[in-house]
Each structure stands twice: as C-alpha cells, then as structure tokens.
Amino acid sequence: RLHLVTWNVGTASPPPDVTSLLQLNSLGPTMDMYVIGLQEVNSRITNFLSDLAFDDPWSIFFMTVLSPSGYIKLSSVRMQGLLLLVFVKHVHLPFIRDIHTHYTRTGLYGYWGNKGGVTVRMSLYGHTICFMNCHLPAHIENTEQRLDDFEKILEMQFEGENIPSTLDHDVLFWFGDLNFRIADYGIHFVRESINNKRYNLLWEKDQLNMAKKKEAFLQEFIEGPLQFKPTYKFDLYSDVYDTSEKKRKPAWTDRILWRVKNLCQHASKEDEFSAEEQTISVTLNNYISHMSYGISDHKPVTGTFGLELKPLLSDPLVMLNPEGEWSAEHDVLISYSAVPEFPSSAWDWIGLFKVAFRHVNDYVTYAWVEDDEISSNKDRKQVYMSAAEIPDMGGEFLLCYYSNNFQSIVGISEPFQIQPNRMLMEKDLTQEENSWMQKPDNLESHDEF
C-alpha cells in the first residue's frame, strides 16, 4: 500500500497536524510506503544553505510524525523549492535496493531550479519503480512550455551502470504542481460548475486531459477521475477561491499520474495477453484533495495505491541477530550470514538503532563488519560491539546491516530488548538518596514566604 502526497506549500512552515493528510487514523491496513512531493518549500538563500547542511523543517517534521509508527526516511532529494521524500516500513528495507536520486532544472532555460523535477528510483522486490515530483511553468498560455519541460525531465538519465531510463522503469509515478489550467471557459462558468459539483463539464477543457489526447508520450500515463474541486487558487486559511484583484481561474494544477511499462508494451501488441504474464499491477484506491489545509493557496492532493508485486527477490541478502541476552553492562556479539553472491565491502557496517529510528544515519552506535569481526566460517560470522557504546538505560532496539555497495540497508533484525546497566542505575539511586539525606530539614514557614 502506497500513499502519495503532492502539495505546493507556498513557502509556509509545516501545519500543526497531518493525520488526515497521511490517513494515519485510517481503519484499514497501514501503508507500506509514503511518497511526499512538495513544491515551493521555502528556498531563500539562508534557508537553502542551512538546509544543505541539515535536514529542512519539512523533512524533520515528516520524520517526527512517521518514525513512531515504524517508518524510516529511505531517500530524499531537494532542488531549491522542490522536495521529494520516501518513507518505508522497516520490514521492506532489505528488499529495496539501487536507490538513486536526480534533479533536472528547467527554470531560466535550465539554469535555475525554481522549476523542474526531482526524482527517486529504486528496485522494490526486484521491480524498478521511479517517483518524479515536478513543478512546471505557470500561466494558462504556457501549455507547450509545460509539455516541453516534462519531456526534458523524462529524458534525464540516472548516473550508474545498468540503471534503466525513466520510461524503462516497471512503474513510473508522475506528480506535482503541473500547473495545467482550464482553457476556454470563463471564470464564472468554471466557478458555477464547481459550486454545483459538475466537475465533468470542466474535464474536457483541462489542458492536461486535452494534451493526453494529442501527445503520444502522455497517452501511456493513467490518472484517476478528478472528482474533487480544483485545488488552485485559494485565499489562505479558507476554502474560498481567489478574491484578490487577479481573481485567478480555479484549476486542477496538482495531479498524480502513473505509467506501468508492461501495460504499455502489451497495449502496443495486437494479441491478447493473460494476467499471469503481468508481474506487477497498480490499483488506485483513492484520489482526493484535502480542503482543510490552508497554509498555502494550493490544497494538497493524495493518491492511495495498491501495488501488487510478484516478488523477484524473496530473501534478504543478509540475516542478522543479536547473540544471547544483551545488556549495557558487557560487550555483546552480533551474528550474521549473507547469501553466497552478496558483494560485501570493507566499508559495510552494522548499526544499532532504536526501534523508532528516523533514517539510516540515526544509529545509536555501529560496528564495522571487517574490523570488528571476531569469528568467521562459511555459514556465519560474528561481530563484536563494545558495552561502552550501548545506552545505559537499555530499551528496545534493532540491528541493521548497511551495504556500501548497495548504499542501503540489506538486512534487519527483529526488535529485541537490551537490559539496562544495573550497576550504574544503583549508583545513581544511591547518589540520589545521599543527596536527599544531606538536604536541610524543611524550612519553617515565614510570613515573607
């Protein structure tokens, strides 16, 4: 289950609550992956320079919201105001590989990154998936420029060997502030149609729908029905369309589309094909806007998808677990085994993480798999971790094996308990009792107190 968000946040700070946006209170099964594409994240020079050194406020915000529910930030990519974040449940980490990011500037003839696309691709259970967050040129007359820019973004190549081009991925998701407008109709007709919820009257004049009928490269992209109000342009903190002097005509600028490569290939063939041939399918379960969010002049849009995958990978590359009972009082051992073809590296490491860790660098401590190895045979290796690095208070933790070659976590243990350092706790307790005993008796009350 994949939940995809696109939102032009208009340089605003994160809102107090995103529970409904992320469907965190949904009664159905939880999501396996969140993909969050933002446009117009505050990118003033001072903000941008500090965000290069540290995570930006939006990334920190979503990590803080999602990590307690067992999601970690798998990848992110930023280009000025464009930000793309991918979060995933722990259980899927060993089956996600070959993660790469890319960005393409299209603003100011390709020299400025206020417009363009940011992209994350990966192999998910052996299937190639690509997510593309775009901010295309504004204004009703710029349809051709939007299409040209999107073609340019599609043509970009990931750096690395054996990485398919964008359109060669098994599934490609395209979303963002695509800025397509409603042509021909005047503002009064558009607003009246919206007020009467007769959105279908506007669909045929939606510039993206019109372009999909003409442009071959768009015809393979699928979109759910636009059964929600156009998401642009609103007065801030309201559900009232633009009352400024400009009185912008409402439009479905914020969109989510997808393309399944197998379907494209089969559709181009004359003969029928059986469902058995398909190893991956995408089902749209929900395509809605969220009117309650008013921090910008756009409303966020979400798509909830079911991805049905025939796993091409069924076993993690590395299996690992803590040996014996772990305690903060003594050094501990980790045992792990790797599949025979696993390309290990001297730079691989095993990290100790709290169960609600936020991203791969959020480890408590780590051990190098080669430098800290204490025994090895063809079936199993042991790595040692010093007690000095283990949190004295103990608690619930996970072990993760990070592969330098894959640039990702390729093995994860079940959660386990670390017993606290009793000697230290008893020492702290004794010190606390002593300091309490040394305190003077309660002061007698005085009028001035």
Tens of pLDDT, residue by residue over 79-106, are 989 999 999 999 999 999 999 999 998 8
Residue 275: which pLDDT band, with cuts at 50, 70 and 90?
A: very low
d(Cα 252, Cα 287) in Å, to the nearest integer? 13
Task: Give the pLDDT score at 229.
Answer: 97
pLDDT exceeds cutoff 80 at 38: yes
Which pair of structure tokens corresponds to residue 17?
């609550």
Which of 275, 279, 284, 234 minimizes the C-alpha distance to 254? 234
Task: Give the pLDDT score at 7.
Answer: 98
pLDDT exceeds cutoff 60 at 20: yes
Output 111 or 153, whichever has higher pLDDT.
153
Q: Judge contact between 287 and 255, C-beta under 8 A.
A: no
Task: Give the pLDDT score at 113.
Answer: 56
d(Cα 190, Cα 198) in Å, to the nearest integer? 9
d(Cα 437, Cα 431) in Å, to the nearest integer? 10
Task: Give the pLDDT score at 311.
Answer: 86
pLDDT exceeds cutoff 60 at 432: no
2-309, which class in CATH?
Answer: alpha beta
289 C-beta neighbours (distance < 10 Å), count: 19
Task: Give the pLDDT score at 160.
Answer: 75
My answer on whether omega of the bond before 233 falls inside 30° of 0, hence cis, is yes
Q: What is the tens place of the pLDDT at every residue in 378-414?
A: 889 999 999 999 999 999 999 999 999 988 999 999 9
CA 282 vs. chain centroid, Å, equals 18
Of 64-78, 107-121, 191-205, 322-336, the range with the lowest mean pLDDT is 107-121
SS3 state of residue 9: coil
Buried b (16+ CB within 10 A) or exposed e, 366-390: bbebeebeeeeeeeebebebeeeeb
Host H or E run for residue 435: helix 422-437
pLDDT exceeds cutoff 70 at 72: yes
Host H or E run for residue 50: helix 45-53
**Domain spans in the chain, listed from the N-terminal domain onward:** 2-309, 318-430
**Per-residue pLDDT averaged across 64-81, rounded?**
94
Residue type, 172: L
- Tell me the pTM: 0.89
d(Cα 337, Cα 8) in Å, to the nearest integer? 45
pLDDT exceeds cutoff 90 at 45: no
Residue 425: which pLDDT band, with cuts at 50, 70 and 90?
A: low
Which pair of structure tokens corresponds to residue 364?
């408590």
Q: What is the tens place of the pLDDT at every residue in 202-229?
A: 999 999 999 999 999 999 999 999 999 9
d(Cα 230, Cα 211) in Å, to the nearest integer? 18
Q: Judge contact between 57 and 78, C-beta under 8 A.
A: no
Average model confidence (pLDDT) across the chain: 89
Task: Give the pLDDT score at 313.
Answer: 81
d(Cα 320, Cα 366) in Å, to the nearest integer? 14
- The DSSP call for residue 414 is P
Q: Judge contact between 97 and 408, C-beta under 8 A.
A: yes
Q: What is the 3-state secondary structure (H, E, C) of 181-224?
A: CECCCCHHHHHHHHHCCCCHHHHCCEHHHHHHHHCHHHHCCEEC
Give the pairing type, strands 349-354 and 365-368.
Answer: antiparallel
DSSP H stretches of helix in 120-162: 143-155
Which of 236, 235, 234, 231 minimizes the C-alpha distance to 251? 231
d(Cα 218, Cα 232) in Å, to the nearest integer? 23
Which pair of structure tokens corresponds to residue 114?
């206020």
SS3 state of residue 56: coil
Give the pairing type, strands 33-39 and 2-8.
Answer: parallel
Residue 112: which pLDDT band, with cuts at 50, 70 and 90?
A: low
Residues forming a β-bridge with 86:
35, 75
Q: What is the tens place of the pLDDT at every residue in 319-352?
A: 999 999 999 999 999 999 999 999 999 999 999 9
- Look at the block and give the residue holding tokens 């280009």: 79
Task: Give the pLDDT score at 369.
Answer: 96
Q: Which residues contact 421 (CB under 8 A, 6 or more apart)?
A: 327, 328, 329, 392, 393, 394
318-430, which class in CATH?
Answer: mainly beta
Instruction: Estimate the share of the chain in helix, then strand, then coil, as percent rounded to the nearest 5.
Output: 20, 35, 40
CA 345 vs. chain centroid, Å, equals 27
d(Cα 410, Cα 403) in Å, to the nearest integer? 6
d(Cα 335, Cα 88) in Å, to the nearest integer? 25
